[in-house]
Amino acid sequence: MSIDLSQFHQVFFEESFEGLDIMESGLLELSPDAVNSDDINTIFRAAHSIKGGAGTFGFQLVSDFTHVVETLLDQYRAGSRPVTQSGVDLILESVDVLRALLQDLQAGSSPDTSASDALKKQFEIFLSAETEPEPSSYSEEQSSSQRVTPTQLESNPDSAGSDSGHWAIVFKPSADIVQTGNEPFRIIRELSELGTVSVQVQTDRLPEFTTLDPEQIFLYWHIQLYASCTKEVVLEVFEWVIDDSKVDIEWVTDQELVTVVDNQQTESTQESVMPATEAIGIDTVPDETTENQPGESQKSMDSKPVRAAAVETQSIRVSIDKIDSLINMVGELVITQSMLGQIGHDFSVDKLQRLQEGLMQLEQNTREMQESVMRIRMVPISFTFSRFPRLVRDIAKKLGKKINLQLLGENTELDKTVMEKIGDPLVHMVRNSMDHGIESPEQRLAHGKPAEGQLTLNAYHQGGYIVIEISDDGKGIDPQVIRKKAIQNGLIAEDEQLSDQQLQELIFHPGLSTAEAVSDLSGRGVGMDVVKRNIQELKGTVELVSKVGEGSLFRIKLPLTLSILDGQLLRLGDETFVLPLTSIIESIEVRREQVSTVAGETDVIVLRDEYVPVVRLYEVFNIEPVNKSLFDGIVVVVESANQKIGLHVDDLLAQQQVVIKSLDTNYKRIEGLSGATILGDGTVALIVDIAGLLNIVGDKIDQTSVAMKTAS
Amino acid sequence: MSKILAADDSASMRQMVTFTLKGAGFDVTEAVDGVDALSKAKSGAFDLVLSDVNMPNMDGIELVKNLRALPNYKFTPILMLTTESGTDRKMAGKEAGATGWIVKPFNPEQLLSTIKRVLD
């Protein structure tokens, strides 16, 4: 039989990444002064599982590398080597290396082994230096596996064939052998599979019937095995019982006795049997030559997983609770369906009330089910937060700052896709806070603050949104410094009047670097504007509260999911469109005196001293509208990337949640549209992408604003 | 159909073991650690127990000790799945009453042939 092991790879990768996370957080909490054996055990277990799985599923490279890590951890666990910071750092580095190796393997690409090879050497040096470790099971394992060579297997009493001799075996099991689940009969039967067996039962150990314990074995056996096999093969049959049984194996020829093996010798030869089995265990490729040469099979192993892992599918781990609640709801749905079915079977007007009740129940079931299905995609933000303790520790070390990280609301859930995309912006903001926000210990003390800076990541739900706050007690953002920089970079005019808040928010403007010395960590002015754009792509917002000398707080607000949108439905000719509710500022009926036309084409409306260009949506999408005049219909003012535009439409309809269907996958990508949805009556409504729309009409608007500036 | 209880804290190992054994016609129950395995063993009757050594909450060695103390599992074959081929861990397993062991990494074929050694 042949089982394709690649089907288990995905689960292996996921649990390995989880294991690495466990190792990482465990290592970060480990302090060499007060070592908790439970913590070491947890870290060890995670490494151990990765090694075992990697070996089983054919990732020899990972398994070999983890082996050295595990060896060090085992010494820590056994207490044979004191835990040192340099050792912990080395293991932390190995976590990164392992993660990279596994990511490469998961992606199906050939892993870069330079880092792992180098680190492995470091481990070997580290392990050979300082305390000489007690002979542990691991070193034994290694050395014995080196001992196994085909020559050695052949060097044993040669398999001359049954006619020239036989194995003479004396098998005296311990009395309580059956209490370990081992049966002498099974062992003898197994021997008989190797060749012809002749057995004599010995009864001289049998006690008096009255003192006989039926759960003990008093019999023993003399066995002659006529088989052309090596001693190792015979020993393998006794592998599990040899330690507490007396097993003598002799090769007997007609002329002479070739070998006498006593229990002590079997101990040592048994050692070489087991790694031999391991070497065979590596050969999981069906078409591979199964020669018993560990070196060779390992070489071919290194290239093998690359082929197997190429088919990668994304998956998500869902707690049983969520699935149970879904199953519950399906159950209720079935009940509602059968109830409605019954009403429909022989319907009469007097059942109208029950029909309405049933439909209401159906509506509720559907809504609950929708929420419940959405919850499946939701994962706790701790998956993202968990990378920060390490990051903060490393960066603080590099910057020579003292920083205490506090994580709050780690169990707050959000959509998996949103979470994956918010990770990098968060990292950037945290780096920014550490680099530019929190001061050096000396500066802090000089300002009467504790030497250790405080960095807090907090997540919580608010309405249909998740809010993530990054706050520090650093020096804050000085509006005057920003002002100087902005004038220098030509972002604002020298006499431009801006509030402190407006000035501070300029850090989200492309091309503004506030740090006086650009560090290699963050801040070449390519940072915060990219962060803001990423957040906007997720239909989210970011705001800033900062006080000079007291610190800064960044508040990111993201929709819980990207697959549902709070939409404003609107009519344009015969078509219905959807605008994201979050992008709408207001909707107005335009009066004649509000409108002026600039640069020939574009209309501009004046809205509270602000000029807002108006785009006729029917022109963009080439639709025959009901109203062509701006004064009929409605102008919806929307905003994207700090740019306001008015959209002229025929009418506003209801506001409702819509499920976004991708145009890319169902049709093709269209500029200005982010997707489509299916409305209650079955018609398709297109969802307007404001940022994309701005791209289409951008040139026109730019001309307009230039014209506006020259006009004023 | 023989019933097998398989305990391992690694999901991928459990999947592999279950897939292999079910494919060979065994009835498999999974357990995520020693505590889980012990409670499942108590509420069901198994012909064979397969257990990882390193598990959280209750490790494989403790599990074997606890199982052997139950009248129903006094003679039941219990195999340890272990990466530790060193003698000391094996002896600990044996002392606790394990029948034998399968050394990781192993492939499905080896797992089956070992299990068939114990179950007819």
Q: What percent of chain A has pLDDT over 70?
A: 81
Q: Which pLDDT belongs to residue A708?
A: 59
Q: What is the pLDDT of residues A154-184, one digit of tens each?
A: 334 444 444 578 888 989 888 888 888 888 8
- Determine the angle formed by the axes of helices A60-78 and A37-56, rounding to 10 degrees: 160
Q: Which residue of B has its CA nearest to A193?
A: B117
Q: Which pLDDT belongs to residue A268?
A: 39
Q: Which pLDDT belongs to residue A279?
A: 36
A712 or A266: whose pLDDT is higher? A712
Q: What is the pLDDT of residues A370-390, one digit of tens each?
A: 878 878 888 889 888 988 888
The per-residue pLDDT of chain B, averaged, comes to 87
Asked if the Cβ–Cβ distance from B91 to A274 is below 8 Å, we say no
Distance CA A558, CA A542 (A): 9
Asked if the Cβ–Cβ distance from A140 to B87 is below 8 Å, we say yes
Task: Assess whether pLDDT exceeds 80 at residue A129.
Answer: no
> Phi and psi at residue A313, in whole multiples of 5°?
-120, 150
Q: What is the pLDDT of residues A548-590, one digit of tens each?
A: 889 999 999 888 777 778 889 999 988 999 998 888 889 988 8
Asked if the Cβ–Cβ distance from A8 to B109 is below 8 Å, we say no
Q: Which pLDDT belongs to residue A309?
A: 36
Q: Which of A358-372, A520-534, B101-115 has the lowest mean pLDDT?
A: A520-534
Q: Pick the residue of B4, B9, B73, B85 with the most A CBs within 10 A to test the interface with A by mutation.
A: B85
Q: How many CB atoms lie within 10 A of CB B41?
A: 23
Sign (positive/negative) of CA torsion A318, A321, A323, A326?
Answer: negative
B119 or A138: whose pLDDT is higher? B119
Fold designation for B3-119: Rossmann fold (3.40.50)
Asked if the Cβ–Cβ distance from B104 to A52 is below 8 Å, we say yes
Name the architecture of domain A564-711: Beta Barrel (2.40)
Q: What is the pLDDT of residues B20-36, one digit of tens each?
A: 898 888 999 999 999 99
Q: Assess: ipTM above 0.90.
A: no
Q: Which pLDDT belongs to residue B37?
A: 94
Distance CA A55, CA A195 (A): 33
Q: Which residue of A has its CA nearest to B91?
A: A243
Residue A23 near residue A102, CB atoms below 8 Å: no
Q: Pick the residue of A49, A62, A239, A267 with the most B CBs within 10 A to test the interface with B by mutation.
A: A49
Work out the pLDDT band at A606, boundaries 50, 70, 90.
confident
Contacts of residue A244, Cβ cutoff 8 Å, sequence gap at least 6: A174, A177, B94
Task: Assess whether pLDDT exceeds 80 at residue A597.
Answer: no
Task: Assess whether pLDDT exceeds 70 at residue B69.
Answer: yes
Task: Assess whether pLDDT exceeds 70 at residue A344.
Answer: yes
Task: Assess whether pLDDT exceeds 70 at residue A149.
Answer: no
Average pLDDT estimate for A320-335: 87
Distance CA A502, CA A559 (A): 25
> What does the radius of gyration of chain B's CA atoms come to, in whole angstroms?
13
Range among A63-77, A199-213, A240-254, A304-318 rated most confident? A63-77
Torsion of CA A129, A134, A137, A141, to 10 degrees: 50
Q: Which pLDDT belongs to residue A709?
A: 54
- Can you give the pTM of this predicted structure? 0.49
| Cβ-based contacts under 8 A for chains A and B | 129
Domain spans of chain A, in order of start: 5-143, 150-299, 321-380, 382-559, 564-711
Asked if the Cβ–Cβ distance from A181 to B23 is below 8 Å, we say no
Instruction: Find chain B residues with C-beta within 8 A of A271's C-beta.
Output: 87
**Closest Cβ–Cβ partner in B15, B24, B99 for A180:** B99
A5-143 carries CATH number 1.20.120.160: yes
Distance CA A373, CA A322 (A): 9
Beta bridge partner(s), residue A222: A170, A200
DSSP state of A31: B
Q: What is the pLDDT of residues A263-310, one digit of tens each?
A: 444 443 333 333 333 333 333 333 333 334 444 444 333 333 333 333
Q: Which pLDDT belongs to residue A166?
A: 85
Q: Report cis status (omega within 30 of 0) of the bond before B105.
A: yes
Q: Which residue of B has its CA nearest to A43?
A: B56
Superfamily of domain A382-559: Histidine kinase-like ATPase, C-terminal domain (3.30.565.10)
Domain spans of chain B, in order of start: 3-119
Q: Pick the residue of B19, B68, B99, B101 with the most A CBs within 10 A to test the interface with A by mutation.
A: B99
Q: What is the pLDDT of residues B1-15, one digit of tens each?
A: 889 999 999 888 898
Work out the pLDDT band at A453, boundaries 50, 70, 90.
very high
Average pLDDT estimate for A438-444: 91
Taking CA atoms, A384 is separated from A396, A411, A414, A456, in Å, by 19, 11, 11, 14
Residue A234 near residue A197, CB atoms below 8 Å: no
A136 or B9: whose pLDDT is higher? B9
Q: Which pLDDT belongs to residue A142?
A: 40
